[in-house]
Chain A
Amino acid sequence: MFRTALRNVLAHKARLLMTMLAVLLGVAFVVGTLVFTDTVGNAYKERFLTTLSDVSVQATPPYDEKTGERGTVDGDTLRRLQRLPGVASVTGSVEGVAAVAAKDGHPLGDDRVTAGGNYFPQADGEDTRHPLTAGRAPTGPDEVALDTATADQGGYRVGDTVRLAVDGPVLHKKLVGVVRTDDTHGSGATLALFDDATAQKLFLKPGRYDGVTLQADRGTSETELAAEARHVLPEDSDISTGAQLRERQRTEAAEGTRGLSQVLLAFAAIALFVGVFVIGNTFTMLVSQRSREMALMRAVGAERRQVTRSVLVEAGLLGLCAGAAGFLLGIGVAMGIRQLFASTGSGLPDGPLVISPGTVLISFLVGVVVTMLAAYVPARRAAAVPPVAAMSAIHTPPPVRGLRRRNAIGVALIAIGVLGVVFTASSGEQGRTIVLLPSALLLIGIIVVTPALSGPAVDLAGPLLRRFGVPGTLAPRNARRNPRRTASTASALMIGLSLVTGLTVVAVSATASLHERAEHSVTADFEISSKNSGHLPPSVHRTLAKSPAVTSSSPRRQGAVRIGGDEVTLTGVDPRTIGDLLDPSFVSGSFAALGSGGGKSLLIDTSLADSYGWATGQRVPVVYDDGVRGSLEIGGVYHDDEYLPSTMMPLATLQPHLKETEDASVLVRTKSGDGDTARYSLQRTLDQNPVIQVRNTDDLAEAAGGEAITLLLNVLYGLLAMAVVIAVLGVVNTLAMSVFERTHEIGMLRAVGLQPEQTKRMIRLESVLISLFGALLGIGAGIFLGWAAGELAADSIQGYEMVIPWGRIAVALVGAALVGVVAGLWPARRAARLDILTALKAD
Chain B
Amino acid sequence: MHPHQPLSAPEPHAAHATDLTKVYGTGDTRVVALDAVTVGFGKGRFTAIMGPSGSGKSTLMHCMAGLDSPSFGSVRLGDTEIASLNDRQLTRLRRDRVGFVFQAFNLLPTLNALENITLPMDIAGRKPERAWLESVIQTVGLADRLGHRPAQLSGGQQQRVAVARALAGRPDIVFADEPTGNLDSRSGAEILEFLRGSASALGQTVVMVTHDPVAASYADRVVFLADGRVVDELHTPTAEAVLERMGRLTPAHA
The distance in angstroms between the C-alpha atoms of A529 and B94, with both chains bound, is: 79
**Smallest CB separation, B58 vs chain A (Å):** 9
Residues of chain B lying within 8 A (CB to CB) of residue A744: 105
Contact residues in B for A748 (Cβ distance below 8 Å):
102, 105-106, 108
Asked if A478 and B110 make an inter-chain contact with CB atoms under 8 angstroms apart, the answer reads: yes
Confirm or deny: B244 has a beta carbon within 8 angstroms of a beta carbon on chain A: no
Instruction: Determine the chain B residues whose CB is within 8 A of the CB of A836 once the complex forms.
Output: 67
Q: Which of B64-86 contact A (CB under 8 A)?
A: 67-68
As a 0/1 sequence over residues 97 to 123 of chain B, the CB contacts with chain A under 8 angstroms (1 = contact) are 000101001101111000100011011
Q: Is A749 in the interface zone, CB < 8 Å from B?
A: yes
Partner of A752, one of B68, B95, B109, B110: B95
Choice from B62, B92, B109, B110 contacting A753 with Cβ under 8 Å:
B92
Expressed in whole angstroms, the Cα–Cα distance for A12 and B157 within the complex equals: 37
Complex CA gap A182/B211 in Å reads 89
Q: Please pick, from A473, A745, A749, A751, the residue contacting B67 in the complex, using a CB distance under 8 A.
A: A751
A729-770 vs B, CB cutoff 8 Å, 1 = contact: the mask equals 000000000000000110011111111101000000000000
Residues of chain B within 8 A (CB-CB) of A474 are 108, 110-111
* Chain A residues with CB under 8 A of B62: 837
29 CB-based A-B contacts, threshold 8 Å: A470-B122, A473-B115, A473-B122, A474-B110, A477-B110, A478-B110, A480-B110, A744-B105, A748-B105, A748-B106, A751-B102, A752-B100, A752-B119, A752-B120, A752-B123, A753-B94, A753-B96, A753-B120, A753-B123, A753-B124, A754-B91, A754-B95, A754-B123, A755-B92, A756-B87, A836-B67, A837-B62, A837-B67, A840-B102
In chain A, positions 462-520 with a C-beta closer than 8 Å to chain B are 469-470, 473-474, 477-478, 480-481
The answer to whether A745 and B91 touch (CB under 8 A), given A469-B122, A753-B96, A837-B68, is no
Contact with A along B120-132 (1 / 0, CB 8 A): 1011110000000
Bin chain A's interface residue count. Answer: 20 to 34
Instruction: Write the residues of chain B forming the contact surface with A, with a CB cutoff of 8 angstroms.
Output: 62, 67-68, 87-88, 91-92, 94-96, 100, 102, 105-106, 108-111, 115, 119-120, 122-125, 165
Which residues from chain A contact B115 at a C-beta distance below 8 Å?
A: 473
Given the known A-B contacts A469-B125, A756-B87, are A749 and B68 also in contact in the complex, defined by CB atoms under 8 Å? no
Whether A750 contacts B108 by the Cβ 8 Å rule is no
Report the minimum CB–CB distance from B169 to chain A (whole Å): 9
Collect the chain A residues with CB atoms within 8 Å of residue B94's CB.
751-753
**Interface residue ranges of A433-481 to B (CB < 8 Å):** 469-470, 473-474, 477-478, 480-481
Please report the C-alpha to C-alpha distance between residue A753 and residue B169 in the assembled complex, in whole angstroms: 12
Q: How far is the CB of B211 from chain A (nearest CB, A)?
A: 16
Chain A residues near B165: list those with CB within 8 A: 752
In the complex, chain A residues whose CB is within 8 Å of the CB of B105:
744-745, 748
Query: How many Å from the CB of A116 to the closest CB on chain B?
Result: 75
Cβ of B31 to closest chain A Cβ, rounded Å: 15
CB of B107 to closest CB in A, whole Å: 8
Residues of A within 8 A of B (CB): 469-470, 473-474, 477-478, 480-481, 744-745, 748-756, 758, 836-837, 840
A-B complex: 7 closest residue pairs judged by Cβ atoms: A753-B95, A477-B110, A470-B123, A753-B94, A752-B120, A470-B122, A744-B105
Given contacts A470-B119, A751-B67, A752-B100, contact A477 B111 (CB under 8 A): yes
The A/B interface has a contact count, at CB < 8 Å, of 65
Decide: B110 and A755 in contact? CB cutoff 8 A.
no
In angstroms, Cα B96 to Cα A755, docked, is 12
Docked pose: A755 CA to B120 CA in angstroms: 11
A261 to chain B, nearest CB (A): 49
Is A745 touching B124 in the complex (CB atoms < 8 A)? Answer: no
Closest residue of chain B to A474, judged by CB?
Answer: B110
Partner pick for B108 among A749, A755, A756, CB 8 A cutoff: A749
Could you tell me if A753 and B91 are in contact, using CB atoms closer than 8 angstroms? Answer: yes
Q: Which of A473, A745, A749, A755 contacts B88 (CB 8 A)?
A: A755
User: Nearest B residue to A754 by beta-carbon distance?
Assistant: B123
Contacts of A750 in B (CB 8 A): 91
Complex Cα gap A745–B107 (Å): 8
Residues of A within 8 A of B91 (CB): 750, 753-756
- C-alpha spacing A837/B115, complex, angstroms: 24
Nearest Cβ on chain A to B177's Cβ, whole angstroms: 9
- Nearest B residue to A757, CB-CB: B88
Complex Cα–Cα for A481 and B88 (A): 29
Say what secondary structure dominates the interface of chain A: helix
B122–A751 touching, CB < 8 Å? no
**Complex interface: chain B residues within 8 A of A469 (CB):** 122-123, 125
13 additional contacts, CB 8 Å, given A753-B92, A754-B95?
A: A469-B122, A470-B119, A473-B111, A474-B110, A480-B110, A481-B109, A744-B105, A745-B109, A748-B106, A752-B100, A752-B165, A753-B123, A840-B102
Q: Which residues of B contact A755 (CB under 8 A)?
A: 88, 91-92, 123
> Which of A470, A478, A758 has the most C-beta atoms of chain B within 10 angstroms of its own C-beta?
A470
| A499 CA to B197 CA, complexed, in Å | 64
Closest B residue to A394 by beta carbon equals B104
Cα A751 to Cα B175 in complex, Å, equals: 11
Chain B residues in 8 Å Cβ range of A745: 105, 108-109
A840 to B92, CA, bound (A): 18
Question: Once the chains bind, are A481 and B110 in contact (CB under 8 Å)?
Answer: yes
List, in ascending order, chain A residues with CB within 8 A of B68's CB: 837
Which residue, B87, B110, B165, has most C-beta atoms of chain A within 10 A? B110
Residues of B within 8 A of A754 (CB): 91, 95, 123
**B107 — nearest CB in chain A belongs to which residue?**
A748
User: Bound complex: CA of A748 vs CA of B101, how far in Å?
Assistant: 10
Q: Specify which chain A residues have a CB less than 8 angstroms from the CB of B92 in the assembled complex.
A: 753, 755
**Min CB–CB distance B117 → chain A (angstroms):** 11
Query: B52 to chain A: closest CB distance in Å?
Result: 19
- Give, as a whole number of angstroms, the nearest-CB distance from A471 to chain B: 9
The CA of A821 and the CA of B180, in the complex, are separated in Å by 41
Whole-angstrom CA separation of A836 from B109 in the bound complex: 18
> What is the CA–CA distance of A99 and B100 in the complex, to the nearest angstrom?
83
Residue of B105, B124, B125 with most partner-chain A CB within 10 A: B105
Assess the A758–B67 pair: CB atoms within 8 A. Answer: no
Q: How many Å lie between the Cα of A117 and that of B92 in the bound state? A: 83
* Complex CA–CA separation, A326 to B232 (angstroms): 66
List chain B residues, Cβ under 8 A from A751. Answer: 67, 94, 100, 102
Contacts of A478 in B (CB 8 A): 110
CA distance A745 to B108 in the complex (A): 6
Report Cα–Cα, A753/B100, bound state, in Å: 10
How many Å lie between the Cα of A350 and that of B122 in the bound state? 64
Shortest distance from the beta carbon of A670 to any chain B beta carbon, whole Å: 65
Complex CA–CA separation, A473 to B62 (angstroms): 28
A477-B109 Cα distance, complex, nearest whole Å: 9
Residues of A within 8 A of B96 (CB): 753
C-alpha spacing A429/B95, complex, angstroms? 68
Q: Chain A nearest CB: distance from B128 CB in Å?
A: 14
CB-CB under 8 A from B123, the residues of chain A are: 469-470, 749, 752-755, 758
Q: Which residue of A lies closest to B104 (CB)?
A: A744
Residues of A within 8 A of B95 (CB): 752-754
Q: A758: which B residues are within 8 A, CB to CB?
A: 123
Chain B residues within an 8 Å CB radius of A480: 110
When distances are taken between beta carbons in the complex, the residues of chain A under 8 Å from B108 are 474, 745, 748-749
Which residue of chain A lies nearest to B105 when distances are taken between CB atoms in the complex? Answer: A744
User: Within 8 Å CB of B125, what residues of A?
Assistant: 469
Distance in angstroms between the alpha carbons of A804 and B140 in the assembled complex? 58
| Distance from A181 Cβ to chain B, minimum over Cβ atoms (Å) | 69
- Docked CA distance A470–B111 (Å): 11
Most buried by A among B96, B106, B122: B122
B26 to chain A, nearest CB (A): 18
Which residue in chain A gives the minimum CB-CB distance to B91? A755
Smallest Cβ distance from A684 to chain B, in angstroms? 69
How far, in angstroms, from A739 to B62 measured CA to CA in the complex? 23
Q: Using Cβ atoms and an 8 Å threshold, which residues of chain B touch A840? A: 102
Minimum distance in angstroms from A743 CB to a CB of chain B: 10
State the CA gap A478–B92 with chains docked (Å). 24
In the complex the two chains form, what is the Cα distance from A756 to B89 in whole Å?
A: 11
Distance between Cα atoms of A311 and B111 in the complex (Å): 34
